[in-house]
Amino acid sequence: MSHAERLAAIDGYTAPRWFKTVTKETFDANNYFAMQYSRDSARALRLWRESAAVPLPVMVRYLIEYMAMDLSEEFARVRVPTKVLVPSFDSTILADKRQAYVKTLFIDSWDSVHVRNPGIAIQHVPDSRIFITDDQPAFVQHAIDDVASNRITRPRASRFFAGATPATPSYRSRQ
């Protein structure tokens, strides 16, 4: 499905129907599981509750905008040293059929980014969930230090980054 076709489906079908049919109870029951937020169960539950406290119209609108967004062209134009930290989750989450979307959404989706732009380094963070910075603060700090000291491995760095300018984000403006 092309980006234009996806936008048409979201604008013509998903958005108008979702606002009319979803309730707070059904949204919360089908939202991320608490265990996906953090490896610490108490922290995970607090984070889930924070997310669940967001008013339903705001969450629905956010998800519709997220589904409509296509950053593939933006990622292709990134010319600054970039390292993406990807949560690894654990075998319990990854094996759960009710959470099958986790691998696709949080892990596999970054493969296409790296293919479009080999200058974007993808690094999987062991023993982490969505809130990587809470689960593995030392790992995250080391990754930041790598970027700051220009220790990211990237192909032909001198030609790849020469004369590049950062992309300006524009999500739906390219319809």
Which residue ranges make up each domain of the chain? 3-68, 74-164
Report percent pLDDT > 70 for the chain.
86
User: What is the per-residue burial (b if ≥16 Cβ within 10 Å, else e) of 43-70?
Assistant: bbeebbeeeeeeebeebbeebbeeebeb
71-113 pLDDT tens trace: 888 999 999 889 999 999 999 999 999 999 999 999 998 988 9
In the predicted model, is pLDDT for residue 132 greater than 90? yes
List phi, psi (to 5°) of 11: -70, -35
- Average the pLDDT over 123-149 and give the result: 94
Supply the pLDDT for residue 151.
65
